[in-house]
Amino acid sequence: MNQPLIRFEKVRKTYGAGEAAVNALAGVDLTIRAGEFVAVLGPSGSGKSTCMNIQGALDTPTSGHYLFNGIDVGGLSRDERAVFRRDHIGFVFQGFNLLKRTTAIENLELPLIYRGIPHAERRRMAIETLARVGLGDRGHHTASELSGGQQQRVAIARALVTNPNVIFADEPTGNLDSARTHEIMAFFSELNRKNGLTIVMVTHEEEVATYAGRQIRFRDGHIESDQINPNPAGAKS
């Protein structure tokens, strides 16, 4: 069985102090292995987004430990966490977060610039990754010239271009209609099944969660349930 990629050990996240203190995470234990596709669900305020923010090194635990491949990420400095995100993690957001007046290729080149990759090499990597998501003929179109589904594919390509260990997807279909939702989720499923990419996705949509092989539900800062989905929707398409 694959070794743990992500491990929470009694992770607690508290906002505020005294009577105003809120435990967004109340001592969570969690293990995610390389190659899993995990959907994280729960009502607003349940702790699911805080969990992802800590996993993505956007936030740190108040207490407990977050280990990524054995690295105690919670103990890293702000600059070290930035390097960690750059080297290991890809993000996909509900709002796409693309530069609207910039071409698809240039959007993909941006994270490669931060890695110091020379222009010719990053251009090649961007073009190849766009082709991988089925947008090889849209590279010179600006984001504003693309449909919502195409923009999300560019956002996924931007997350993939650095060859991350894991992709964190935060409500990735929240701005898409049902047809584009199926398209994007089928693509995520294919990335997971054929390429072994680890995907952790926060969603409030039950239908979207059926594409994942594992569903973790949060409530009041605790994991309420953690279940394997033996028949993920994407495997049927």
pLDDT digits (tens, 9 = 90+) for 154-178: 999 999 999 999 999 999 998 889 9
What is the chain's percent helix, strand, coil content, to nearest 5?
40, 30, 35
What H or E segment, with its residue span, contains residue 24?
strand 22-33
Domain boundaries, the chain: 4-97+165-236
Summarised one tens digit per residue, pLDDT across range 24-58 is 999 999 999 999 999 999 999 999 999 999 999 99
Instruction: Write down the CATH number for the domain with range 4-97+165-236.
Output: 3.40.50.300
In whole angstroms, what is the distance from residue 155 CA to residue 157 CA? 5
What H or E segment, with its residue span, contains residue 12?
strand 4-15
pLDDT at position 2, please? 55
- Across the chain, mean pLDDT equals 93
Provide, rounded to the nearest whole percent, the portion of the chain with pLDDT above 70: 98
In whole angstroms, what is the distance from residue 38 CA to residue 198 CA? 8
Listed residue (124, 86, 126) closest to 106, CA to CA:
126
